[in-house]
Amino acid sequence: MKTAEEQSRERQRIWHSLPEGEVYLAPTEPDDYFKGIKYDISPRQFGLRVRKHDMYCELGGPRHRYSSFVFIEALNDAAEIEDGRVEVIGAELKEIEGQSLPFGFWVRYYGEHLTEDYLDLLTRWTYFALEEGEGWMLLNTRDTIWLRLHKKDAHKHDFKHLGQAMINLCKIQFPLVERADVKILVATEALGGAKYTKELIDSVCVPYWESADEKTRRFSDEDVDCFYGCTICQTFAPSHVCVVAPDRPPYCGIITWIGAKVMCDLDPYGYIFEMPLGECVDPWGGEYTGVNEKIFEKSNRSYKRVVMYSSITYPQTNCGCFEAAIFYIPEVDGLGLVDRRYSGDTPLGMTFSRLAGLISGGLQNHGYCGISFRTPRSKKFVRADGGWHRIVWIPQEYKQMLAEAIPAEMYNKIAT
């Protein structure tokens, strides 16, 4: 495996080797950060869903087997970044009306005191240009990202100002960011389409993400004195509360326990908050009196109990942006596991999309639970239900991705 320094040099080599695009220099003075941006960016826009017949264009998502990405990194060298530089490669927004294309957003930040501990925070605030952006639908993260733009708002948008909004929103919210640039890649057929973006995901994104994930796996629930809760998805799932613990990443995959801690320290009155543990009433399942009290308070007094490492007995509530899901199969008293990339039917006779529609909205569904892609790599993965010995079905591609996490004696026993 390459060292972090070698990976960094390889990323910068690939950055400079990308096809040339149209360059726009966004304002770098705070008073002008949003000059020229015509669309509204505010919490009232959060959670928009754009139906197929209403969309101006679609970027990423299931049509391209989730082969798009948003990649954010923190650099150590200020000289690497031309502050405010936005480069649009492939096509501008006005050129892709009615189309569905794979894409990649590669955003780089520099600050003297900026470290990788702030990556989750940088990611969340970068996403706000889309999540709180008028007309945009955003689902998922990393390489399962899915965007749609509504027809009625398309005239207010272009990619160069979207890039400006992404980097300058982060600057104004987080003063440790001193310099930023972004490349927006729309993978037209001429550029190589989904094959090209998949190559970038494998060579640029995955090694960086795996290094970051490995860092979070170095400590466990027992090493911390509190968990964190997140309610950002209550804009579309009113009773949903996500518990973020070292051994239990949130469904969306955007943040980790480290990131939640940083965000709560910076904004203690925001949508991420501390969850005192209280008394541990079920060490194996992961149930705590303090967490239950916070769940009841923050779920609009809808739910009183959560067993963190169970999908059958008092599982966490489900939002709608989970990357994968666990479901109970009564005929064999086992559990199935399915991810967003899988387009076929599960053993329940329904696709992931239909299953997600049934269990989302902030409900606690005994036997059904959303998860992050990273969750099955946790040593506490559904251990209250029997762990990997209870898993009987996984789509073949997802099973291969999880091969290192699945116990050797179970791998061939799990159907696909």
| Beta-strand runs (E) in 188-331 | 226-230, 242-244, 272-276, 280-282, 287-288, 324-329
Contact, 335 vs 385, CB < 8 A?
A: yes
pLDDT at 265 (0 to 100): 86
3-state secondary structure 374-397: CHHHCCCCCHHHCHHHHEEECCHH
Domain ranges within the chain, ordered by starting residue:
4-216, 221-411
**Phi and psi, residue 7, nearest 5°:** -60, -40
Q: Encode 326-348: b = buried (16+ Cβ within 10 Å), e = exposed.
A: bbbbeeeebbbbbbbbbeeebeb
Strand-pair category, 103-110 with 69-75: parallel
pLDDT at 267 (0 to 100): 83
pLDDT tens for residues 77-100? Answer: 999 999 999 999 999 999 999 999
**Considering the domain 221-411, what is its CATH architecture?**
3-Layer(aba) Sandwich (3.40)
Let me know if the fold of 4-216 is the same as that of 221-411.
no
CA 105 from chain centre, in angstroms, equals 14
**Residue 411's closest CA among 398, 97, 214?**
398
pLDDT > 70 fraction of the chain, expressed in percent and rounded: 100
Q: Is 65 exposed, middle or buried (0-12, 13-18, 19+ CB in 10 A)?
A: middle
| pLDDT (average), residues 266-293 | 93
pLDDT bin (cut points 50, 70, 90) of residue 271 is confident
* Cβ-Cβ contacts under 8 Å for 108 (sequence gap 6 or more): 15, 72, 73, 74, 75, 80, 81, 180, 181, 182
pLDDT at 210 (0 to 100): 87
pLDDT at 74 (0 to 100): 93
pLDDT tens for residues 141-164? Answer: 888 899 999 999 999 999 999 999
Residue 35, classed as helix, strand or coil, is coil
Residue 134, classed as helix, strand or coil, is coil
**Residue 307's closest CA among 296, 291, 321, 320?**
291
* CATH ID of 4-216, from 3.40.50.2300, 3.20.20.10, 3.40.718.10, 3.30.1650.10: 3.30.1650.10
| Beta-strand runs (E) in 312-363 | 324-329, 334-339
pLDDT at 234 (0 to 100): 86
pLDDT bin (cut points 50, 70, 90) of residue 235 is confident
DSSP 160-199: HHHHHHHHHHHHHH-TT--EEEEEEEE--GGGTHHHHHHH
